[in-house]
Structure 1
Amino acid sequence: MPVTSEVAIRPFTFEFPESELEALRQRIAATRWPDKETVADQSQGVPLATSQALAQYWASDYDWRKVEAKLNALPQFITEIDGLDIHFIHIRSKHEDALPLIVTHGWPGSIIEQLKIIEPLTDPTAHGGDASDAFHLVIPSGPGYGFSGKPTTTGWGLDRIARAWIELMKRLGYTRYAAQGGDWGAIVTELMALQAPPELVGIHTNMASVVPPEIDQALRTGNPLPSDLSDDEKAASDQLAFFYQHIGYAVEMGTRPQTLTGLTDSPVGLATFMLDHDAKSLELISRAFAGQPEGLTRDDVLDNITLFWLTNTAVSAARLYWELTSPAFLATRGVSIPVAVSVFPDELYQAPHSWTEKAYPNLVHYNKLDKGGHFAAWEQPQLLAEEIRVGLRSLR
């Protein structure tokens, strides 16, 4: 059992007043709607029908208390790191030889994203795995997200979060652990690897940063791509070009986050902004609200959005984009410790094996999955859990 340091680690539970939930429902009911889009697809953003279906369910049938009870049934804690309160879930496996693993969410995600992978990773024998595949899990809320503190000064960028996570694992007494993440969590995980604490034995990512710098530069400037790209490399470049052209939400958060006051005033405004992260995810979520759930249910989506609303973290979370020091967030970084990579077909781009093995000279696992997208832990928890087990197995 890890031995914690003398720094206080405080147990945490919560319960939002019913008055706040009723106020939320009233605001949803009072939504002022825009006109219907003038196209038959989603090229203008979240369709009006999706927004209205979400609002109708949110105001009349959605039950926040279910996910509140689920979270409070887990061991949650708060500890102050570098002057900021950090909230985290800490689940010890019943298998004492389990490998500790810190899992980091991204935007527009939260700890809600990881709830479905907790049991498969901590109790693998009940989910098709062996006891030797077990993990002790640490799942923190990023600064400005959920129940973690909101930075009141600048400087809480991805590097600082990586340092804080290293301190958190040290504070929990773990002398040997791995790290995992997607979206911002993938980048925080890589930055932990670059800081190379001796306790970190390897990482797993489901959004690999493997784009060669010259490719990234060409895509951002409109310069011609190299003529010798393989089919996989050309396909990945095309996916990235599309993504870079449809990243308006990131531009707004990265340059003018405080302008997004409307996200703290309108629940439906917040919801539509969060739904429009990437084309494939929006299609998946739209189908869920049209009665065709596949991977994500209506409750999954609203659990996450409601957490943002109740904690009033839309703008504080957005500032993480403002703190980004380089737009080349998917370019290679020079990670040298062992890396496991899982590539989901509906991710922002499918990292080619050729780029991946160059970016990670100590690549211990690479696999392309046949389904799943950007929010892999949320959409395909069994697939991601198995990928984490297999990918990190050689590091035990």
Structure 2
Amino acid sequence: MQTIEFQIDIGDDALDDLRRRVTQTKWPAAIDPEGWDDGSSLRFMRELIDYWQCEFDWRAQETRLNLLPHFVAEIDGFKIHYIHVKGRGPSPTPLIMTHGWPGSFLEMERVIPLLTDPGAHGGDPEDTFDLIVPALPGYAFSSAPAKAGIGPFEIAGLWRKLMLGLGYTNFGAQGGDIGAAVSSWLAFRFPKDVVGIHLNYIPGSFRPPIGDGLPPLTPQEAEFKKVAAEWADKEGAYAHVQGTKPQTLAYGLSDSPVGLAAWIVEKFRSWSDCDGNVLDVFSMDTLLTEISLYWFSGSLDASFRLYKESRAHPLSFEKGQRILPPVAISHFAKELPQPPRSWVERVYNVVRWSEHAAGGHFAAMEKPGELVADIRSHFRALPR
């Protein structure tokens, strides 16, 4: 595996093009400019874009992000961008953390120092990790797939090659959203390599075996299926579009940074524990840095298409199939609909389940301390 050091360096021409496009935005009308019921609030979007034009400093964000050690590895024809931070402690546990949509490696920025240098942040140096944070293919600075058929199942194989190429023959995995699917497939496909996984989300594509010869649905499981279906009907339009016609969506959002911003910001508001005010949890700088990473990737079609690949190969299991490595689940109160433990245990080897009274879908950004505490506790209890 060939690996080179990498620094984020967006060209002035790309920044100039972004400014021009933002300045020339053609704004829609809105029946309720203040509200979010129809999608991203027009009033909020005007404030966000005004900040983007007048105050947001990409170069400052770029400089800060470049303080992290970035690399690019060539694996099976892909250029995979990743952050690799060695742990400070006697025996670091290798851990690969995978983001989802609409996230990026930026999601993990706050947890990286807590996991790699616990002694400097009120923790036990024994709970240290060598942390690897890759960008999914087509996200941020990882190259996009050139053909169909690259979903979470296949990405798990890329991640295993990345970890082995870095010299880690046994490692843990962590993720939420799409990252939870990748981590789950890693544990299922390579149980001898993966010592354990930690998830802060159970992927919506997860399908345990049910039917003849298997335990019937419990009342809690039946209720979960109902709630999940209702949520998908009310809130799942984004996933249906990205999972069926991602290319059509990509034309508009690859041409309009404001359109992209509206598509992403609405999810940060809806999926976080913000009580309707997204700026209570995420600063404008954070939101715009995330949006900019998607814009500068130049591969929005690939980031959307990953939903179609996930539909084609869902996290579905047959009778007798199990995820063998020990699994810990952190459930944050305002997460998207999540199944009861009994539903998860039909496939996963659940050894730890933690409930949190606050926090949402973006746990590493919203509740980094609580997430890190759960990760530490889980891996501390596993054989090394």
TM-score (norm. length: structure 2): 0.90
Which stretch of structure 1 is more off in the superposition, 315-324 or 236-245?
Answer: 236-245
Which stretch of structure 1 is more off in the superposition, 199-208 or 239-248?
Answer: 239-248
Unaligned runs of 5+ in 1: 1-6, 216-225
Q: Does 1:272 align with 2:258?
A: no
Do the aligned partners of 1:343 and 1:368 also contact (CA within 8 Å) in 2?
A: yes
Task: Provide the residue aligned with 2:285 in structure 1.
Answer: 299
CA separation of 1:367 and 1:283: change in aligned 2, threshold 3 A:
closer
Q: Does 1:32 align with 2:26?
A: yes
1:73 is displaced (CA, Å) by: 1.3
Do the aligned partners of 1:101 and 1:180 also contact (CA within 8 Å) in 2?
A: yes
Structure 2: how far apart are the matches of 1:98 and 1:283?
32
**Structure 2 residue corresponding to 1:100, chosen from 79, 94, 99:** 94
Task: Provide the residue aligned with 1:384 in structure 2.
Answer: 371
Task: Provide the residue aligned with 1:341 in structure 2.
Answer: 329
Structure 2: how far apart are the matches of 1:87 and 1:227?
42
Which stretch of structure 1 is more off in the superposition, 328-337 or 304-313?
Answer: 328-337
Task: Provide the residue aligned with 1:243 in structure 2.
Answer: 231
Unaligned runs of 5+ in 2: none
Deviation digits for residues 176-235 of structure 1 (CA, Å, limit 9, x no counterpart): 2100000000000000011024221010000125665559xxxxxxxxxx89514xx466
Q: Secondary structure at the match of 1:204?
A: strand
Which stretch of structure 1 is more off in the superposition, 274-283 or 14-23?
Answer: 274-283
Deviation digits for residues 210-265 of structure 1 (CA, Å, limit 9, x no counterpart): 665559xxxxxxxxxx89514xx466445412331121111112222111211111
CA separation of 1:188 and 1:386: change in aligned 2, threshold 3 A:
same
Structure 1: how far apart are the matches of 2:252 and 2:275?
22
Q: Secondary structure at the match of 1:202?
A: strand
CA separation of 1:244 and 1:238: change in aligned 2, threshold 3 A:
same
Structure 2: how far apart are the matches of 1:204 and 1:213?
22
* CA-based RMSD: 2.5
Task: Provide the residue aligned with 2:359 in structure 1.
Answer: 372
1:82 is displaced (CA, Å) by: 1.1
1:117 is displaced (CA, Å) by: 0.6
CA separation of 1:108 and 1:339: change in aligned 2, threshold 3 A:
same
1:149 is displaced (CA, Å) by: 0.8
CA separation of 1:272 and 1:243: change in aligned 2, threshold 3 A:
same
Task: Provide the residue aligned with 1:208 in structure 2.
Answer: 202
- Equivalent positions of 1:1-396 (< 5 A) are 7-38=1-32, 41-209=35-203, 212=208, 229-230=219-220, 233=221, 236-245=224-233, 246-260=235-249, 261-277=251-267, 280-281=270-271, 284=274, 287-288=277-278, 293-326=279-312, 329=315, 334-360=322-348, 362-395=349-382, 396=384
Q: For residue 196 of structure 2, what is the amino acid of its counterpart? A: G
Sequence identity percentage: 39
Structure 2: how far apart are the matches of 1:12 and 1:40?
42
Task: Provide the residue aligned with 1:223 in structure 2.
Answer: none
Q: Secondary structure at the match of 1:53?
A: helix
CA separation of 1:41 and 1:352: change in aligned 2, threshold 3 A:
farther
Structure 1: how far apart are the matches of 2:34 and 2:3?
52
Do the aligned partners of 1:345 and 1:368 also contact (CA within 8 Å) in 2?
A: yes
Q: For residue 299 of structure 1, what is the amino acid of its counterpart? A: D
Structure 2: how far apart are the matches of 1:10 and 1:227?
50
CA separation of 1:113 and 1:227: change in aligned 2, threshold 3 A:
closer
Which stretch of structure 1 is more off in the superposition, 312-321 or 338-347?
Answer: 312-321
Which stretch of structure 1 is more off in the superposition, 295-304 or 110-119?
Answer: 295-304
Which stretch of structure 1 is more off in the superposition, 319-328 or 189-198?
Answer: 319-328
